[in-house]
C-alpha cells in the first residue's frame, strides 16, 4: 500500500532555534493530515492538523505547510524549547475509514541547551 | 475528564494464551481505533470502528479480533498470542463531523509474549 514517510529520522537543534520536520506522502486520495508528538512511554499527542483544501495552518508556535503538488508536509516549531524534545509523527487519513490514520515512522527531535 | 483509558497498562503472556485489551472513552466519540507500535516504528492500524456494533479491518488485522458492543468501549482480543504480537498497543477515538477530527490516544498497553 501507499505510505507516509519522513525525510530525516533524527533532528538536533539548539534551544531557541526554529525546527523544521519534513514528511512525504504518496496517497493522493488523502484529504486530512495531522502531526503528533510522542514522548517516551506515552501515547501520541495531537499538535496540529490540516485539510487538503489548505496549504498552511498556524497554531501556537507551530505551523504546518502542505504542498499537494509534490505531496509534501512539514511541521515548523518556532523558538524550540527543551520540552519539545520527542518523536514527531506525520499521518494521513485513510479514506473511507472514519479518521483512521496511516503513520510515518517518526522523527526524533532533540533540543540541546 | 479521563479521555481514553486503556486496561491493562502492562501484560506478559505465554505463547498460545489469550487476552482482551479494553479501551474506554468518555468523550462520546463515534470512531474508535486500535493501533500497534513496534520499536522505532510508527503506529499501524489493526482494526477500527465507525460506530457501535460495527468494526472493520485495518492494515494488520491478522491474529486479532475486536468488538464494539457499547459506544464507549472498544475491545481488542488475542485468541492465541504469538511472540510477533509483542508490541505497544494504542487505542484512539475521534469525533464524527467537521472540525475537531483529531484522534485522542490512550497511554498504551505494553504487551510481551514469551
* Candidates B40, B42, B107; nearest CB to A104: B42
- The set of residues, in sequence order, having a beta carbon less than 8 Å from that of A56 and lying 6+ positions away, is A50, A63, A64, A65, A66
Residue B2: what pLDDT? Answer: 75
Q: B38: distance to nearest CA of chain A, Å?
A: 10
Residue B97: what pLDDT? Answer: 66
Among the residues of chain A, which ranges form H helices? none
Instruction: Kindly identify which residue of chain B lies nearest to residue A6, measuring between CA atoms.
Output: B42
Q: Tell me the pLDDT band of B63, cut-offs 50, 70 and 90.
A: very high
Number of A:B CB contacts under 8 A? 71
- Residues of chain A in contact with residue B103, where contact means CB-CB under 8 angstroms, are 34, 46, 99, 101
- The set of residues, in sequence order, having a beta carbon less than 8 Å from that of A71 and lying 6+ positions away, is A24, A25, A26, A28
* Candidates B42, B56, B107; nearest CB to A106: B42
Q: Do B22 and A70 form a contact (C-beta atoms < 8 A)? A: no
Condensed to tens digits (0 to 9), the pLDDT of residues B1-17 reads 679 999 999 999 999 99
Instruction: Kindly identify which residue of chain B lies nearest to residue A2, measuring between CA atoms.
Output: B59
What counts of helices (H) and strands (E) characterise chain A? 0, 11
pLDDT of B73 > 70? The answer is yes
Q: A14: distance to nearest CA of chain B, Å?
A: 24
| Contact criterion met (CB < 8 Å) for A100 and B45 | yes
Q: How far is CA B41 from the centre of its chain?
A: 17
- Lookup: cell for A96: 473511507
Residue A4: what pLDDT? Answer: 57
| Contact criterion met (CB < 8 Å) for A103 and B31 | no
Amino acid at each position: 500500500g501507499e505510505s507516509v514517510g519522513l525525510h530525516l529520522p533524527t533532528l538536533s537543534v539548539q534551544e531557541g532555534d526554529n525546527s523544521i520536520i519534513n514528511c512525504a506522502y504518496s496517497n493522493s486520495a488523502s484529504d486530512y493530515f495531522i502531526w503528533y508528538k510522542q514522548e517516551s512511554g506515552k501515547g501520541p499527542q495531537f499538535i496540529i492538523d490540516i485539510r487538503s483544501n489548505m496549504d498552511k495552518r498556524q497554531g501556537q508556535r507551530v505551523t504546518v505547510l502542505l504542498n499537494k503538488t509534490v505531496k509534501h508536509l512539514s511541521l515548523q516549531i518556532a523558538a524550540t524549547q527543551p520540552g519539545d524534545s520527542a518523536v514527531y509523527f506525520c499521518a494521513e487519513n485513510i479514506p473511507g475509514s472514519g479518521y483512521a490514520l496511516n503513520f510515518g515512522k517518526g522523527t526524533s527531535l532533540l533540543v540541546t541547551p | 475528564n479521563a479521555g481514553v483509558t486503556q486496561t491493562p497498562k502492562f501484560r506478559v503472556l505465554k505463547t498460545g494464551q489469550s487476552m482482551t485489551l479494553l479501551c474506554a472513552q468518555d468523550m462520546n466519540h463515534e470512531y474508535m481505533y486500535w493501533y500497534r507500535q513496534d520499536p522505532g516504528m510508527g503506529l499501524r492500524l489493526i482494526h477500527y470502528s465507525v460506530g457501535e456494533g460495527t468494526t472493520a479491518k485495518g492494515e494488520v488485522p491478522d491474529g486479532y479480533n475486536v468488538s464494539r458492543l457499547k459506544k464507549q468501549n472498544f475491545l481488542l482480543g488475542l485468541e492465541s498470542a504469538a511472540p510477533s504480537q509483542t508490541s505497544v498497543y494504542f487505542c484512539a477515538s475521534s469525533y464524527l463531523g467537521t472540525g475537531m477530527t483529531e484522534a485522542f490516544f490512550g497511554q498504551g498497553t505494553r504487551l510481551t509474549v514469551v
